[in-house]
Amino acid sequence: MGTCAVRKDQGICVNMSKSTSLQKVLGLVLLQQMLCSSAATHLSIQEEQPEGIKIGSIAQDFLPPYHLLTSDKHTRLDTQTGDLYTTAHTIDRETLCPQQPTPTGPCLIQQLVLAHDVVVKVTVEVEDINDNSPHFPEDEVRLSVSEDVAVGTSFLLDDQAQDDDTGSNGQLWYHLDDPDGFFSAEEAGQSLVVVVRRTLDREVRDTHRLTVVTTDRGVPSQSSTATLVVEVTDINDNCPAFRLDSPKSILVPMDAPRSTAVIRVRAMDPDLGPNSIITYSFSPKTSDKSRELFSLDSDSGQITLAGTIDSDGPAEYILRVLASGPSCPPAVTQVTVSVLAASSQRPVMKIRYIAELREGAILIKENQPPTVLALLELEGASPVKGAPSIAGEVPFLLRPQTGNYLLLTSKPLDFEQKSKYHVSIQVRDSRLPRGGEEMVITVLVQDVNDNAPQFQLPHYQVDVEENNAPGTTIAHIRAADIDSMQNGEVAYRLGLHTASMFSIDPGTGRVSVSVALDREQQEFHNFTVLARDNGSPALESTTSVSVHVLDQNDNEPVFTTTNFIFFIPENFPRLGQVGVVPVRDPDAGVNGQVEVQVVNGSGPFMMDNARGTLRCVAEVDREVQDRYELWLVAQDGGHPPHSSTARVTVFVEDINDNRPKVILPSTNLSCLTVSPTMHTGATVTKIYAIDKDSGINGDISYRMVASEPHSPFLIDARSGNVTLAQRLLIRDHRLHHLFIVVSDGGEPTPLQSAVWVNLLVNETEGPCTLSTVPIPAPAHFTHRPPKKTTCEEDQSGIKNAKTTLLVGLGMLVCSAIMLLGAAILFIKQRALRRSHQKLASKGSEIPLRLKETYHTVDWADVQ
């Protein structure tokens, strides 16, 4: 129940707990309304940063003061500056955001900050660093593989390595150290797959202990090791066989009692469990009498005497014994039991050692030719004394020597095949009792250094990512020497021409690199590794190692220049090639595949990445825009990608695509009054025209194409000024029409426009108007050729001077003739002039048809 407060003035009881709840509800509602109008800021920081590191600030976007609405022990807010800092509680991404079994996304710390009157949602993304090593759940990982598995079969381990980091820091690769080459490691995503590389045989080796090295792809990388125990399980791939040392004959005294142990046969099956069970039995070929006299234990193979030996019975019994296993044909051996009279004397064998003797055993070096080891002497009064023999198939023999026997090897011995022999010498007399017919001599084979170290592979291919940490182990080269002791001790070294950056541990064969590799400088490194044993003389073998440096996206695309300049003419064809934009990225694969884009897409240009060229996709007009500034971004395909920029300036060159436009006079109906008193050479008016083209294409010239005969007006070709060429006469007091052609300097054919200039010579200065475009009469106008240039005038003056000189001399000589024919010439000249005037009036006629609404025409239209 809540408490009740009584107000004295009103006598009202107020429930305090309800009031507090109401305040909380109102606070939550207010907070929700503020959040609905809140803003957001995203910051980031790497994990494991010390205290006082600035994460970021919200001051650039929001006004003070700042108040932290939520609390977090990992961050601290400066209420004055809006800066967010780390605290003494170190930010550990793996603790904040446990990712097992798989990462679920970015690790975020979210807080609410009240900035002035705005609630800001501050999200701090915790970036991962490579601070965790990969590890297996247990130090020892087990895998069971059947011995009949096919080579190339893959096995996915139940227990996989884990790395609490994310991204490349948590991406793993594996190396399996198996010096015998039975297994190798492959990657299936983040999982380790063990692949069988050689045929397995449990009977030869039932357990393989391997070292798994797990390394992440962080920089610098972290690694760990674990032991992989591969247990080879058994299948029934072997059948029972009698052992070489299983006895094949025995002497039994005639008076031996019932249940005497006679002999035990031994068979073996290298399989395990039910597959190795052996059952012994007599063959059906064993006689019934033998079955009655001897018994055979089916499990142990022990033969015992089941009855009493009859003195009148046979001197020997032949027992055929079968050894049977599951799903196997039985193995057969024959045991000969010889009955020995009770009075027989057991012989005595003496041995004299010739070879070196050590601790009661003969010592002989391997690879020796047949060598005498000992002298065997046989003594005894038994009349049944016979020749001794060696039991089993062993590389030894007995050679008779003047009543004695020499024990010697029958062939060179091999320590690696067998290092110890037990030579059993028996007497060949079936009547001898069991205790005196056998002597066992131990022979030890001494190892010599006759085997060189053998590498697991004749060539090693190693893949290493560039930018590795100095000192990184890149390979584990192993060689095995089957010799013993110091003859089998192997030391490793690198070849003479190996780069100094590589080194190898002489004892373990681990190859490391002392510097960070750079694929762009050298992608492949080749060297040799030598393995040398410690024998005398020492034996050595070599293998080759190829190191392939894998690419990382550590290079930006590079333009050949950061400022490209291209020139194109206006009216450039669509999709025409503006220019080549060379860019290269020394990385390989997708890291070196570069795509170039135009980032300011307002211009009429695009990149053709297939050809590395810049193309024009729309019409360009110099008169609209004569220059374009582009920015290109080249980005490779790596993750994360790298990029670079370049500026491109495209200048649009002018072509003669605009005709001159006449500004003054404004129309073909314009008219100007000229005073008759104007002085010769004075400027009457000015023709003003413009051309949007540039250079010679915009260079304007003026010429008077047609006017009345004896027109007193001239036009300047460059300035367009119309001047008075001669004094105005009474006959010039009238309206004059000048047809002006305005031309540009374009090549090969200039563009032209035309205009009428109407001048009224009148003493009264008043408005001059025309109602229609002038329609000239043919007889009133004459064609005006273009004004001669200065060079042409000079040439004309020289020619005129020569002509004047010749004419003067001719007149001095022919003056009399000219005076006599003057009258006749005058009449003929008058007639000829009239005919020329008619022809000239026809040739100067201009078929001009202009619309009254236009003041310019194309000169090509009137020619």
pLDDT digits (tens, 9 = 90+) for 755-770: 999 999 988 777 787 8
Instruction: Let me know whether 648 and 708 are in one domain.
Output: no
Instruction: Let me know whether 720 and 736 are in one domain.
Output: yes
Instruction: Examine residue 300 and state whether it is found in any structural domain, yes or no.
Output: yes
**Higher pLDDT pick, 843 / 469:** 469
Instruction: Let me know whether 776 and 683 are in one domain.
Output: yes
H/E segment holding residue 836: helix 822-843
Instruction: Examine residue 454 and state whether it is found in any structural domain, yes or no.
Output: no
Instruction: Examine residue 132 and state whether it is found in any structural domain, yes or no.
Output: no
Instruction: Examine residue 693 and state whether it is found in any structural domain, yes or no.
Output: yes
Q: Which range among 618-627, 723-732, 803-812 shows the weakest confidence by mean pLDDT?
A: 803-812
Whether pLDDT at 21 is above 60: no
Q: What's residue 788's pLDDT?
A: 44
Q: What CATH number corresponds to the domain at position 496?
A: 2.60.40.60
Question: Domain total for the chain?
Answer: 9
Instruction: Let me know whether 267 and 286 are in one domain.
Output: yes
Whether pLDDT at 830 is above 80: no
Whether pLDDT at 592 is above 60: yes
- 423 and 244 Cβ atoms separated by less than 8 Å: no
Rounded average pLDDT over 693-701 = 89
370-394: buried (b, 16+ CB within 10 Å) or exposed (e) per residue? eeebbebebebebebebebebbeeb
pLDDT digits (tens, 9 = 90+) for 612-643: 999 999 999 988 899 999 999 999 998 889 99
Instruction: Examine residue 851 and state whether it is found in any structural domain, yes or no.
Output: no
Instruction: Let me know whether 537 and 565 are in one domain.
Output: no
Considering 218-222, 612-616, 824-828, 854-858, the range whose residues carry the highest mean pLDDT is 612-616
Whether pLDDT at 433 is above 70: no
Q: What's residue 104's pLDDT?
A: 61
Whether pLDDT at 771 is above 90: no
**Higher pLDDT pick, 783 / 82:** 82
Whether pLDDT at 508 is above 90: yes
Rounded average pLDDT over 254-276 = 87
Instruction: Let me know whether 103 and 160 are in one domain.
Output: no
User: What does 465-490 look like in DSSP terms, one character per residue?
Assistant: ESSPPTTEEEEE--EE--S-GGGG-E
Instruction: Let me know whether 424 and 534 are in one domain.
Output: no
pLDDT digits (tens, 9 = 90+) for 308-332: 888 788 888 899 999 998 888 999 9
Whether pLDDT at 525 is above 90: yes
Instruction: Let me know whether 264 and 321 are in one domain.
Output: yes
Cα–Cα dist 282/324, whole Å? 11
Q: Of 79, 101, 127, which closes a domain?
A: 127
Cα–Cα dist 187/238, whole Å? 35
pLDDT digits (tens, 9 = 90+) for 162-199: 888 888 888 888 888 888 889 998 888 778 899 999 99
Q: What's residue 190's pLDDT?
A: 78
Instruction: Let me know whether 245 and 321 are in one domain.
Output: yes
Read off the DSSP letter of residue 819: H
Instruction: Let me know whether 763 and 801 are in one domain.
Output: no
Q: Which range among 614-623, 654-663, 804-813 shows the weakest confidence by mean pLDDT?
A: 804-813
**Which residue intervals of 238-381 are DSSP H helices?**
288-293
Q: Of 318, 340, 362, which closes a domain?
A: 340
Q: What's residue 775's pLDDT?
A: 64
Place of tokens 């500056």: 81
**54-57 β-sheet, strand order:** 54-57, 83-86, 75-77
Considering 338-347, 472-481, 824-833, the range whose residues carry the highest mean pLDDT is 472-481
pLDDT digits (tens, 9 = 90+) for 112-121: 998 888 899 9
Q: What's residue 38's pLDDT?
A: 59
Q: Which range among 22-36, 67-81, 83-97, 680-694 shows the weakest confidence by mean pLDDT?
A: 22-36
Q: What's residue 17's pLDDT?
A: 46
Q: What's residue 557's pLDDT?
A: 95
Instruction: Let me know whether 540 and 581 are in one domain.
Output: no
CA distances from 572 to 210, 566, 622, 747 (A): 71, 13, 10, 18
Q: Of 287, 306, 340, which closes a domain?
A: 340
pLDDT digits (tens, 9 = 90+) for 196-223: 999 999 888 889 999 888 888 888 888 8
3-state secondary structure of 125: strand
For residue 407, the enclosing domain spans 348-446
Instruction: Examine residue 307 and state whether it is found in any structural domain, yes or no.
Output: yes
Instruction: Let me know whether 752 and 801 are in one domain.
Output: no
- 63 and 107 Cβ atoms separated by less than 8 Å: no
Instruction: Examine residue 182 and state whether it is found in any structural domain, yes or no.
Output: yes
**388-390 β-sheet, strand order:** 356-358, 361-365, 438-446, 420-427, 388-390
Q: What's residue 173's pLDDT?
A: 82
Whether pLDDT at 737 is above 70: yes
Instruction: Examine residue 456 and state whether it is found in any structural domain, yes or no.
Output: no
pTM score, two decimals? 0.45
